[in-house]
């Protein structure tokens, strides 16, 4: 029987086996390169084992085929029959290894996927943790920045309100629910006459009236605030001052009252000024009445004085009738002096205006009164501004004003002695002349300060004063366009001396044209050259 030629099959088998070896090793080498590039990659590691097992199986099978073909071609089939079982065994062994690797591929892939899944979760967790850390870091940075900004805002706010608290000229204080003052500004201590932090103060130390602290707390507890309450506080020295109080309650989260914050404005000077204004209006009415009464009384007093003097010529000196007529004459003259003071107070008496130096007026008054003051151990100190400008006024009336003030100061110091200061100066704008008369006497009580300019008001014993001196002085100063003010006790007293009283007289400085107009009625005329550099006595 004719068979097909085997040579092509043999050639294909030989080259196929060789190609199988080459390609299996190329696959193994490629897998090896992948493993070297990514040693931790499970797939590349698995492929490396698979390609290695296949390469081993390919070598075993291809070598067996090549040996078989070469032995058959060489006529040594007997040798192949002897080694073929070994070749088959190797083939079976390597086939089993390939099968084993392929069988465990699924489990390996599952394990790899599980590991990859867990690694992904861990990676995501790390990523989330890193994102959270970044957010926390940003939050910390922003929080620190915001805390710094808020701290700066609070610091600025605290500085602003602390400055307002410290610089306020009104009393500002804070109290707790027990009525203790936990904080008060310097103006408050000064208003009450205490040194700062001198003692622990309570609301009961402030209020002059009994039970006012309880009323204060009850009003705050009921309404939560107090607005413009007019009452009196007690100073350290026991004197009372009039204040206008506004307060706000401080409540806790539970609604309980923790304390209060309050502002008190000292109205003592305002009250005194209002009383003086009322006194001024009253004096204006009294002045009009005094003018009419003085004119009505002056005529009969002149008749009485004239007839008494005529009758005195009819009786010898030393007789009882002559002495009685002298008493009538003396008392009539005293009455006429009172009438003259009333006319001066009511501004009904004549006035002579001329160019005068206030320094000269003060020097004249001191020269007249210094000897009498020296007898009472009163030292007079005159301090004048040498550049004081001249003014237009009535020198006699102005001398009368300062004589009255010096007499009052003399009366206040006649038993104890002391010092009398007379000072002239100008205000910072140069529009006013300021003249101060200050004594170190017993002072004027607060209740009397609003009445001292009232006609016939006097604290002197009967027979030592008519109570018209300050009233007349008040009218003269206002007639000259100025004002007269009193302050008692005087601030900054001399060591070892009583605080005493300050009378301050303010007179306007007028231009040359104004002075020319005012004084023209007295036949005076002068130019601005008369005021160059000022004049002084």
Q: Are 276 and 450 in contact (CB under 8 A)?
A: yes
The domain boundary residue, chosen from 87, 103, 119? 103
The domain boundary residue, chosen from 61, 82, 103? 103
CATH number, domain containing residue 200: 3.30.450.20
Q: Are residues 240 and 285 in the same domain?
A: no
The domain boundary residue, chosen from 328, 345, 362? 345
Q: Are residues 362 and 506 in the same domain?
A: yes
For residue 52, tell me if it sits in a domain: yes
Q: Are residues 282 and 340 in the same domain?
A: yes
Split into its structural domains, the chain has a count of: 4
Q: Are residues 431 and 495 in the same domain?
A: yes
Secondary structure (3-state) at 341: helix
Q: Are residues 226 and 328 in the same domain?
A: no
Instruction: Give the pair of three-digit tokens for residue 376.
Output: 């009472």
Q: Are residues 375 and 425 in the same domain?
A: yes
E strand or H helix that includes residue 391: strand 391-393
Sheet holding 181-184, edge to edge: 181-184, 171-176, 257-266, 240-251, 225-234
CATH number, domain containing residue 391: 3.30.565.10
pLDDT in tens, the chain (537 residues): 454 456 676 676 666 767 777 777 787 788 788 778 877 776 677 777 677 777 777 776 666 667 766 776 666 767 766 666 766 666 677 667 766 666 666 666 666 677 777 777 888 888 888 888 888 877 776 776 777 777 777 777 666 666 666 667 788 888 888 778 888 888 888 888 887 655 677 877 788 877 777 888 888 888 888 888 888 888 888 788 888 888 888 888 877 888 888 888 888 777 777 766 666 666 666 666 666 676 677 778 888 888 888 888 888 888 888 888 888 888 888 777 777 766 665 554 556 678 888 999 998 888 878 888 888 888 999 999 888 888 888 888 888 889 889 988 888 888 888 889 999 998 888 889 999 999 988 888 777 776 777 766 666 654 455 566 787 888 888 888 899 988 888 887 777 677 788 999 999 887 656 666 655 554 444 333 333 333 333
For residue 418, tell me if it sits in a domain: yes
Instruction: Give the pair of three-digit tokens for residue 85.
Output: 């079982």
Q: Are residues 409 and 366 in the same domain?
A: yes
Instruction: Give the pair of three-digit tokens for residue 369.
Output: 């009164």
Q: Are residues 386 and 480 in the same domain?
A: yes
Q: Are residues 190 and 323 in the same domain?
A: no
Q: Are residues 327 and 471 in the same domain?
A: no
Q: Are residues 312 and 422 in the same domain?
A: no
Q: Are residues 203 and 325 in the same domain?
A: no
- In which domain, by residue range, is 52 found? 7-103
> Minimal CA–CA distance to 343: which of 307, 299, 278?
299
How far is 41 from 45, CA to CA, in rounded Å? Answer: 6
CATH number, domain containing residue 316: 1.10.287
For residue 247, tell me if it sits in a domain: yes
pTM of the model: 0.40
How far is 263 from 276, CA to CA, in rounded Å? Answer: 26
Report in angstroms the alpha-carbon separations of 282 from 174, 285, 290.
42, 5, 12
CA atoms in the 13 A half-sphere facing the CB of 348: 19
């Amino acid at each position: 029987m004719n068979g097909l030629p085997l040579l092509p099959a043999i050639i294909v088998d030989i080259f196929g086996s060789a190609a199988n070896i080459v390609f299996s090793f190329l696959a193994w080498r490629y897998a090896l390169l992948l493993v070297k590039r990514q040693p931790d990659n499970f797939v590349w590691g698995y492929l490396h084992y698979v390609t290695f097992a296949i390469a081993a199986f390919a070598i075993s099978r291809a070598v067996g085929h090549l040996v078989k073909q070469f032995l058959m071609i060489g006529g040594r089939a007997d040798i192949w029959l002897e080694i073929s079982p070994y070749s088959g065994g190797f083939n079976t062994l390597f086939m089993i290894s390939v099968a084993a690797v392929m069988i465990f591929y699924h489990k390996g892939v599952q394990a790899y996927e599980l590991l990859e899944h867990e690694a992904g979760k861990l990676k995501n967790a790390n990523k989330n943790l890193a994102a959270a850390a970044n957010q926390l870091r940003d939050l910390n940075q922003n929080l620190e920045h915001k805390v710094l900004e808020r701290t700066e805002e609070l610091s600025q706010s605290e500085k602003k309100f602390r400055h307002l608290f410290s610089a306020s000229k009104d009393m500002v204080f804070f109290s707790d629910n027990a009525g203790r003052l936990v904080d008060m500004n310097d103006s408050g201590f000064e208003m009450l006459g205490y040194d700062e932090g001198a003692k622990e103060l309570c609301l009961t130390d402030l209020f002059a009236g009994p039970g006012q602290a309880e009323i204060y707390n009850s009003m705050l507890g009921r309404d939560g605030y107090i607005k413009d309450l007019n009452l009196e506080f007690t100073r350290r020295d026991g004197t009372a001052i009039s204040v206008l109080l506004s307060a706000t309650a401080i409540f806790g989260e539970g609604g309980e009252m923790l304390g209060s914050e309050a502002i008190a404005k000292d109205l003592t000077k305002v009250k005194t000024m209002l009383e003086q204004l009322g006194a001024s209006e009253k004096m204006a009415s009294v002045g009009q009445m005094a003018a009419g009464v003085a004119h009505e009384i002056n005529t009969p007093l002149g008749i009485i004085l004239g007839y008494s003097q005529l009758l005195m010529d009819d009786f010898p000196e030393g007789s009882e009738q002559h002495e009685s007529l002298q008493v009538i004459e003396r008392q009539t003259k005293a009455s006429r002096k009172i009438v003259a003071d009333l006319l001066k107070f009511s501004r009904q008496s004549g006035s002579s205006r001329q160019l005068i130096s206030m320094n000269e007026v003060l020097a004249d008054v001191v020269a007249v009164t210094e000897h009498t003051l020296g007898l009472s151990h009163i030292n007079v100190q005159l301090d004048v501004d040498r550049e004081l400008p001249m003014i237009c006024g009535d020198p006699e009336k102005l001398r009368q004003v300062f004589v009255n003030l010096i007499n009052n100061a003399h009366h206040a110091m006649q038993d104890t002695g002391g010092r009398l200061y007379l000072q002239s100066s100008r205000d910072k704008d140069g529009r006013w002349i300021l003249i101060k008369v200050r004594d170190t006497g017993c002072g004027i009580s607060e209740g009397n300060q609003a009445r001292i300019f009232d006609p016939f008001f006097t604290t002197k014993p009967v027979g030592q004063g008519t109570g018209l001196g300050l009233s007349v002085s008040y009218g003269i100063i206002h007639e000259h366009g100025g004002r007269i003010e009193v302050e008692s006790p005087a601030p900054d007293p001399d060591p070892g001396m009583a605080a005493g009283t300050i009378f301050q007289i303010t007179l306007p400085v007028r231009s040359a044209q104004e002075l020319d107009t005012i004084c023209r009625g007295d036949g005076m005329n002068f130019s601005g050259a008369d005021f160059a550099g000022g004049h002084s006595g």
